Structure 1
């Protein structure tokens, strides 16, 4: 069999962070034109998994009684192997015979020095692996299938996120998304086949591709300080219990804000979008103060404050605590001075564009 190749883009959150981990609370994301690529080719005896993203040494595996066998002591590939596991379970339900293969990963989602930009590499490697294996086994591929298999893989490794990064890597473009009831999915997984579960409507799950106003320009700044989404989400969850009333108010206000922003996208109203970006920044700052979890770092505040001086609407992107900030402008605005000010404060403009799969 010839080599098959599949890619998945990185992502950035525009609005709705933290609230989106709760079912039915929307967020807006974009897929960006930096990619993670997976290549799969047939092998007769021993398979390998190789990624310079994780390690320069290939991880070897073999198949026994239809199962992939890996020495867990040598395994840095948790998300990737979970993606293989759930995709192969689906492949077997489709009555396809499993084979042995070499799988390679190439990533553009980190800096040249290996630092993470916060573009969602775990989601991208999962989505690209699922797509590549479905293609390798010559199965029909739909975005819903790829998304749900990728989600099941992440649930199996105890991911605490919203899976919005998986949605962006799967559906691409500008995206409105709300997460599903994960307890419902876990319960159904105990009583349904993978195929049957994928065919069900998942409660509270919503995805809608958005078309931005023509005059909207998105700038992405990187603070040079990687952050851990998993750790920050855990911190918010641990501290919300003491101030549950504040957290519920945050959820309610975030949902209202993002729903207004979604309507503004539909109406092609840039000023209304910018207004809700500013409101979402304020909500996140208030939630950060309530939980004492650092979301908008001093570098991110600098990024946002400078953008506001040039009539942009800016905020942290994703879990915050470092990584990237985003700013939305009118395309006619001259922003060379802003970029210079960012650079003077060690904020790097990332030359990324929104990616929509054709």
Structure 2
């Protein structure tokens, strides 16, 4: 029996732009996790999955390297697509290495949901990374952090071609990171031509990961608007509506990169005032994009969440695609009265303050990482 877990994530700056290869974003890994336990299965050729998000067990049979539901031939339930793709990707690697696949039972528990409702903390990415880690360890694979990320990215790209993989990187490396994505079409083609094993060792243009120093003397707060967001729909909507407004989209990408790079420099230099200025700047950039595309990044509650933070001297913005889910705020960590005022005003507006922190990365984990430079 093997158990592995992976944390959820929040975007700090760079969302939407990061779906384009090589475009930067800053993310953090949070202190809520998804855990996956893998144990030997009972029937040859079968994989059983149990999750705290539903009752009962979903069983799959292996057919031509794919996992097919034993009873329902319409395909796996949506919340299992990422799990299934992760298992299939690891087992393709196992077969390439000449090892036999085995019957498996997976048990999944999540701290990223409550009563079946998601908070927008990257549950799909976290469950993908935890599944890759646990199934890989069960088969005796000694995967580096980068190999776990690459397997998770291949598994995700198979079912969500626009997914940036930023959530995967945050779940693998933890802490504060700067990330840019590879071209998902290229890496999928590479995996088909060369195989999984060669693909995860090949050069991935556009991909970079770098640890960042967290801001000192700032409090990080998270508020949930009470409405789950359709991230894939929002991301696809921005790209689709900008095909006929290419000049705006190019400007959006350039301004996003400039903002992210300035944030990285501010974190490096300990310039909190500049960091807060860039958080406000990226909020403005998202509001401009929302005004042009009308895709609904800013709901009334999200606008209230951000405005309330500004009134007590902090900076705030949506985290991720917006349209609901979470907003993030940064305030001076000595501003205790302002923080209590903020939380009270959020609650009065129907916004739930979440007790979420960004755990420090252990030195051993930092030493184990090989970080590509980007």
| Within-5 A mapping of 1:114-129 | 114-129=116-131
Q: Report if aligned partners of 1:124, 1:166 keep a CA contact under 8 Å in 2.
A: yes
Give the superposition deviation at 1:218: 0.6
* Deviates further, 122-131 or 72-81: 72-81
Aligned to 1:98: 101
Distance 1:153 1:351 in 2: 31
Distance 1:65 1:163 in 2: 27
Match of 2:234, SS state, is helix
Distance 1:49 1:56 in 2: 11
Distance 1:292 1:69 in 2: 39
Give the superposition deviation at 1:357: 4.7
What TM-score, normalized to structure 1? 0.95
Give the superposition deviation at 1:265: 1.1
6, 9, 17: which one aligns with 1:19? 17
Q: Report if aligned partners of 2:85, 2:158 keep a CA contact under 8 Å in 1.
A: yes
Match of 1:339, SS state, is helix
Task: Pick closer, same or farther for the CA change 1:326–1:67 going to 2, 3 Å.
Answer: closer
Distance 1:64 1:250 in 2: 44
Q: Report if aligned partners of 1:7, 1:36 keep a CA contact under 8 Å in 2.
A: yes
Distance 1:241 1:248 in 2: 10
Q: Report if aligned partners of 1:314, 1:328 keep a CA contact under 8 Å in 2.
A: yes
Match of 2:200, SS state, is helix
Q: How many residues align?
A: 354
CA RMSD of aligned residues (A): 1.5
Aligned to 1:35: 33
Distance 1:354 1:15 in 2: 16
1:51 equivalenced with 2:51 (yes/no) = yes
**Stretches of 4+ moved more than 4 A in 1?**
63-69
Aligned to 2:342: 338
Give the superposition deviation at 1:158: 3.2
Aligned to 2:331: 329
1:108 equivalenced with 2:111 (yes/no) = yes
* Deviates further, 121-130 or 154-163: 154-163
Aligned to 2:260: 258
183, 189, 209: which one aligns with 1:181? 183
* Deviates further, 186-195 or 312-321: 186-195
Give the superposition deviation at 1:74: 5.7
Structure 1 gap ranges (5+): none
Task: Pick closer, same or farther for the CA change 1:231–1:65 going to 2, 3 Å.
Answer: closer
* Deviates further, 44-53 or 273-282: 44-53
* Deviates further, 159-168 or 273-282: 159-168
Distance 2:326 2:67 in 1: 37
Q: Report if aligned partners of 1:50, 1:105 keep a CA contact under 8 Å in 2.
A: yes
Distance 1:63 1:194 in 2: 18
Structure 2 gap ranges (5+): 363-374
Distance 1:247 1:67 in 2: 38
1:75 equivalenced with 2:76 (yes/no) = yes
Match of 1:241, SS state, is coil
Q: Report if aligned partners of 2:117, 2:228 keep a CA contact under 8 Å in 1.
A: yes
Distance 2:243 2:151 in 1: 32
What TM-score, normalized to structure 2? 0.91
Q: Report if aligned partners of 2:65, 2:88 keep a CA contact under 8 Å in 1.
A: no
Task: Pick closer, same or farther for the CA change 1:114–1:65 going to 2, 3 Å.
Answer: closer
Give the superposition deviation at 1:212: 1.3
90, 106, 114: which one aligns with 1:87? 90
Q: Report if aligned partners of 1:19, 1:254 keep a CA contact under 8 Å in 2.
A: yes
Aligned to 1:134: 136
Cα deviation 1:228-259 (Å, max 9, x = unaligned): 10010111122111211111111111111111
